[in-house]
Amino acid sequence: MPRHATPFHLTLALDPRDGRQASQLAAALVRAIAEGQLHDGDPLPSTRSLARHLGLARSAVVAAYEELSAAGFLVATAGSATRVGPGARSASLAGAYTHPTEAEPQSAGAEGTAHPIRLDLRPGHPDPGLIDDRDWARAWRRAAAAPLQPPADAVTALRPGFGHSFHEPLRRALAEHLRRNRAVVCDAADVFLFPGVNAALRALVGLVGEPDRAIAFEEPGYSTGRRALESNGARVRPVPVDAEGLRVDDLGDEWGCYVTPAHQYPLGSRMSVARRAALLDWATAHDALILEDDYDGEFRYDVAPMPSLHSMNAGAERVIYLGTASKMLARELRVAWVVLPRRLREPMQDFLARTGDSVNPVAAAALAEFVDSGALVRQLARAQRGYAARRARFTEACRDLLPGLVLQGIEAGLHVVLRLPAGIDDRALRDRLLVDGLACQALSDYWLGDPGAGESRSGGLVCGYARLPETRAREAAALIAAALARIQAEPGTPPA
């Protein structure tokens, strides 16, 4: 019986930003699945007919089909048409592309004109291009093939609809990973999942916040996290940081304290062991909780690891430990976790059953596979080497081309702070760099109060180097030096 070609009925838009032709086609097919043009089990056109219709080389179509088959989006059967695989639509809606990709950011200039960003030094952005494609595709393929409904247990049976907030495989995987890599000893039942750290912070305010007491917050600090706390009614009190981290002597009778001890955000200091012990003593004396945001604690360079607050004496009772996949892997994963003191386990279960956010089940399953398979440990080792090289090249270029600036926070994390001479408006410099095609952050944006008050509040640029190729580090430093020189040459600017 003669075979007939599958009628072509797809509308595929190939985006050059997705890379080579095969990657463009793969991404377009995943979008077609997400949009409902293709459903699980649907046949696809032959590689020959699709290549002819789109004007592509057949080899590019074959490569795209092979890539999507390896990731589980397609199923190829000898002697039959290639079909959309089971679970492909759920995976595509979860953002499970075969490669984690990010759109090229754009900036708005002074006239409202969009300027393409050629050098993206925004902090808090890891490089998903460092993820091993095979490990990534394998994790998503297995996650997409699994049923979306989690197995019934005591939690999900009592709280239908919130099973994915208690995704047991991921909770177990994270508990083991944290024990091995961050010395955070906990049960899987102490780990709770959220679609981002800010969602977790909002939930924590609702669970343990006290309206009559403030929460202490690093100054300068993670402004987005501060707004997340305030949005749920928390009263935030800024507490200064110095070279050893948050100044514990400036704490009062707050109900809690938010800190980033592994790599203070944004200044980059590492909280000393003595300061950590003092902070735990304060929490015990005031019956307070410490919110330890370990956002990039896995990355450190030429320095010994320091203990998490959670791993120290009294830490398990006083510390709420927060972590996220957004800094380790890709921001688009939208999976964060919280390790709670055991006494808060049941209250959090009840709270999430009423009001909590639920993580995407496919993303949770994929991350669990990624952790359990050992791929996360391999990824962290690979990323550590890559980020260390990029950090070294960028800091070397800054010292060479910007000799008058002090560099802070270079021992750990994914960003460095360039402190500017007194009198330089860091926001104006940031905006000028945007027009020049370089994106970074102004240090002034991280202060709750007036960023211009006092020498300790001099301006700066917060520059992430995770996505800065080593070959372009000197170009980035040269752009900053040129923009700074233009500002310093303007009338009224104080001399350096």
pLDDT digits (tens, 9 = 90+) for 429-449: 999 999 999 999 999 999 987
Class of the CATH-defined domain 21-94: mainly alpha
The correct CATH number of 146-373 out of 3.40.640.10, 2.60.120.10, 2.30.30.100, 3.40.190.10 is: 3.40.640.10
> Most confidently modeled of 159-163, 183-187, 489-493?
183-187
How would CATH label the architecture of 380-489? Alpha-Beta Complex (3.90)
Which one-letter DSSP state was computed for residue 412? B
Count CB neighbours of 111 within 10 A. Answer: 6
> Most confidently modeled of 113-117, 125-129, 213-217, 266-270?
213-217
Helix (H/G/I), strand (E/B), else coil: 409: coil
On whether the CB atoms of residues 290 and 256 are closer than 8 A, the answer is yes
Q: CA 83, CA 63: separation in Å to the nearest integer?
A: 15
Each residue's pLDDT tens digit, 45-87: 888 888 888 888 888 888 888 777 766 678 877 667 888 887 7
Q: Which tokens is 152 given?
A: 């019934």
Q: CA 295, CA 263: separation in Å to the nearest integer?
A: 8
All structural domains of the chain with their residue ranges: 21-94, 146-373, 380-489
The whole-number pLDDT of residue 117 equals 87
Give mean pLDDT, residues 290-301: 87
Which one-letter DSSP state was computed for residue 6? P
The whole-number pLDDT of residue 35 equals 79
Give mean pLDDT, residues 195-209: 91
Q: CA 317, CA 320: separation in Å to the nearest integer?
A: 8
Give mean pLDDT, residues 290-312: 85
On whether the CB atoms of residues 416 and 122 are closer than 8 A, the answer is no
Percent of the chain with pLDDT over 70: 84
Q: CA 237, CA 217: separation in Å to the nearest integer?
A: 6
pLDDT band (50, 70, 90) for residue 399: very high
pLDDT band (50, 70, 90) for residue 157: very low
428: enclosing H helix or E strand: helix 426-436
Question: 6-15, 17-26, 158-167: lowest mean pLDDT where?
Answer: 158-167
